[in-house]
Amino acid sequence: MKRITKIVLTGGPASGKTSLISRILHEFKQENGWRVITIPETATELISGFGIRPFGNCMTMLQFQDFVIADQLHKEQLALKAAQVVDEENILIIYDRALMDDKAYVTDEEFAGVLGRLDGRTEAEVLSNYDAVIHLVTCAKGAEFAYNLGNEARTESLEYAREMDDRTLRAWSGHPNLRIIDNSVDFEDKLRRAIREIYAILGEPAPVMRKRKYLIEMPDIGLIVKKYNAVALEMMQTYLLPTQNNVERRIRQQKNGEDYLYFYTEKHVMDDGSQWATERPVSEKWYVRYLMESDNRMHSVRKVKYRFVYRGHRMEIDVYPFSNDRAVLFAYSEQGDAALPPEAKVLREVTGKAAYKNRQLAVTQRL
C-alpha cells in the first residue's frame, strides 16, 4: 500500500527552501525505496515563464493570485496522480510554497474570495490537504550577514523580508503540524534540523551518520556490482571562477538512469573558519551557462560512484578515470565503525585529508 506524505516548505525570502529541497533529494533516494515529487514555486514560474507579474501596469496583486492559485491547484492534482502511478511505495510530495502562501500577499477577505471562485474550499479544508508545514525563517532574522550571499540580484530589503516572513507564518499558523526552523546556529545546522523534522513527520528515526573515508586498492568492480547489487552513478563536478570572496562555486552533472540531473553549489567560508554550503538543482540550460564560467586552473572531476549496502551499512566506492590502481571508499555508520567488505583492500584512512577532497583532485588528478 502506498504511503504518500505531503509536506509544504515555506518561509520568507532567502530562507533556504531551495537548498533544503536539494538536501531532501539526496536524503530520500530512489534506490532506498523513496520517490520525491517536487512542486516548484508557482509565482516564480509564472513571472519568469509567462511574463505576467503583479507589478507596473500588468495586473494587480489580486488578479495575479487568480493565476497563481489556479496553477497551484492544477499542479497539486497532477502530483497526486503521479504519486499513484510511480512504482515506489514511499512517496514524499514536497511543495515549494503552497496555497496558503498566497494569503500573505492579499487581505484575508480577498484570499477567501479567490478560493471561493477557483476551488470552493474553506481555509480549514485547504490546510487539511497537507500533512505538515515546515516554515524556514528568513535569514533576514538572525543571519543578516547571509541575506544577499549568492544572490546579488536580490532586491527585497531586510525589512520587507522580515515582514513577508511574518505574514507567511501567520497564513500557515492554523495548520496543526507546523514546524518552525530558525537561524539559531548556522545554515548547515538549519538544514539538518529541517531533515530531522521530516523524519519525525514520517514517524521514522533520523539517521545520525558517521562517515569514514579510505584510500583502497582498485577492487574488482564487476564483482562488487554482482555480489552487492551496487548501483553506479556517473558524476562530473566542475569548479567555477569565484565572484565573491570566500565563496567556492561549483556545478555537478549526475546521471540518473537515462536522464541527467544538474546542481549548482556555493560553499561559504566564514572569517572564523566555519563553512556552510547551499545547493540547488538547475536546468540543463543553466548548467551549460555555468560551464562557461569554469575555472580553467582546475580539471572537471569525473567519477563513477558505486553505492551498495554491506552488513546493513551504506558503502560508496568512487572510481576516477585518472587512477587505474586506486579508488576511494566511503563507509557510513550510525553507531561505531562500519565493517568493510573483504574486497576493499585499505591502503590508509583519509577521512578529512585535503589531498583527497574533490577540489584538490581537480588540481592534481591523482590519488
Tell me the three state secondary structure of residue 313.
strand
What are the DSSP E strand ranges found in 150-230?
A: 178-181, 210-217
Residue 178 · residue 185 · CB < 8 Å = no
In this predicted model, what pLDDT tens digit does every residue of 53-95 receive, in sequence order? 776 667 788 888 888 888 899 999 999 999 999 989 999 999 9
The three grid cell numbers given for residue 55, joined into one nine-digit string: 507589478
Can you list the residues of the chain whose pLDDT is less than 50? 150-153
In this predicted model, what pLDDT tens digit does every residue of 144-153 receive, in sequence order? 776 665 444 4
pLDDT of res. 57: 62
pLDDT of res. 263: 85
Distance CA 347, CA 355 (A): 15
Fold of 210-364: Hypothetical Protein Pfu-838710-001 (2.40.320)
Residue 246 · residue 268 · CB < 8 Å = yes
The three grid cell numbers given for residue 61, joined into one nine-digit string: 496583486
pLDDT of res. 56: 63
Geometric angle at alpha carbon 359, from 354 and 365, rounded to 5°: 95
pLDDT of res. 140: 85
Q: How many of the other CB atoms lie within 10 Å of CB of 200?
A: 14
Widest distance between CA atoms in the chain: 69
226 Cβ contact list (under 8 Å, min separation 6): none
**Nearest by Cα to 132 from 221, 39, 7, 257:** 7
Reading phi first (left if > 0) and then psi (alpha if -120 to 50, else beta), residue 142 is in left
Q: What does the DSSP assignment read for 330-341?
A: EEEESSSPPPPP
The three grid cell numbers given for residue 126, joined into one nine-digit string: 485547504
Cα–Cα distance list, 30 to 139, 143, 337 (Å): 31, 34, 25
What pTM was computed for the model? 0.67
Fold of 3-202: Rossmann fold (3.40.50)
Distance CA 126, CA 298 (A): 51
Cα–Cα distance list, 366 to 177, 327, 356 (Å): 50, 10, 9
Q: Where are the domains of the chain?
A: 3-202, 210-364
